[in-house]
Chains A and B, each alone.
Chain A
């Protein structure tokens, strides 16, 4: 118990809950998995890279299970949920977090770029949620990772931004489709966050990534990028009963970037 007190006074807001987090091996997904466990949950994290996933599990330390898989491959999702069903029997919380975004200006973007972006962010999310439903506990919480770009123009990232607008709108329709099961569905839109993704997955050079980070900071009323743990705290709020009357919203965790 002393651990929790020292650790910023976390409570046990997710005591005994079973949570699935896609894209759980780094960044926002990893920080959220860690926080969920600190709040008493058991988490199942999924990601494409086995080595990173194992390292994530070691970082989370306890009450964590890993399943290697790609959300854009339906058979991987089937395998994920088969494991969840066997191990835990049901799901209380789903954080559909896996996403992809690479830079490609309109004039140069390829079909492969477009397909990859939408396969992961839109199709992947659609089936991540659909395939969770048979095991989802009534009254549970689904959180979709969108982005501030769902309402901002971001040169070079039009496919990404459009895919995230689609995600935001999933939350609206699914709020209504799942209301009889009392399952809440919200999207959460981070602004620029200090994660490895900007440097490693966007296709920007190290120098470009540094410039982008500095430019982001200047566009954010709080004057800095967010930390993964700050996003994790907001996702935990949406996952827990603290947000029991919140559904269909898009929670901006963006230091004010898309708000002003």
Chain B
């Protein structure tokens, strides 16, 4: 018997990478998972791989009507929702001096506004025992060249959990941030290349990048009753990168 038996979860950015790894783990633990993502072909591939307890809804977290469709689908099938992993994120590099308004808007629309409405629109379906997990980043507490928009947006995400721990007082819904460091997703591996992966591994005390499944395991912990006295917190899953 898994620790998420009978639970219903939504994972945004769920078709690939960390979201997909978390979905796999949630399903192994007995959950039903709604994946939300922008690319139909990736969603189809994920559903084929994850089996009968996965659902897919196509959409973008920065589009409120898409989010309404997502939660309408959850409501229609199960009526209630236990777990939200607000994981969809965007990030590109532009150093100060080259930053454009579009770059800021795109980053904050997805990472901050998208996270806020992903959670706000989920609340009517959630209740006692619910768990909200926001994907932050080690970039939220560190400085790295060219990452001002992304880092600031992830610092904002970390702080949303503080406020929401208070806003959700009395509801029995917990909210925490999961902050990965360098994670060996297909996207990250392609973006970093061999050399870039080596650089990140060497900067990390554990001397390697995370397997997405390792991040998924932590998401499962935060989703489950094993973290029942945790709210407003941040768990860094970064091999020590931003801790020391």
- B-binding residues in A (CB < 8 A): 5, 8-9, 11, 171-173, 175-176, 179, 182, 184, 191, 221-223, 226-227, 230-231, 233-234, 236-237, 241-249, 251-256, 259-260
Contacts and interface: CB of A to CB of B under 8 A. Distances in A.
Give the 5 A-B CB pairs with smallest separation, nearest first: A259-B232, A248-B243, A256-B232, A248-B240, A226-B229
B244 A254 contact: no
B218 A247 contact: no
Interface in B95-111: none
B197 interface: no
B224 to A, nearest CB: 9
B218 A256 contact: no
A184 B169 CA distance: 34
A234 B230 contact: yes
B227 A234 contact: yes
Contacts, number: 128
B74 to A, nearest CB: 24
A172 B48 CA distance: 42
B225 interface: yes
B233 interface: yes
Given A248-B205, A249-B235, A230 B229 contact: yes
Contacts of A172: 243-244
Nearest to B242: A248
B166 interface: yes
B52 interface: no
B226 A233 contact: yes
A245 B241 CA distance: 10
Contacts of B165: 221, 256, 259-260
Contacts of B226: 233-234, 236-237
B182 to A, nearest CB: 10
Nearest to A232: B226
A243 B235 CA distance: 10
A175 B243 contact: yes
B230 to A, nearest CB: 6
B164 to A, nearest CB: 9
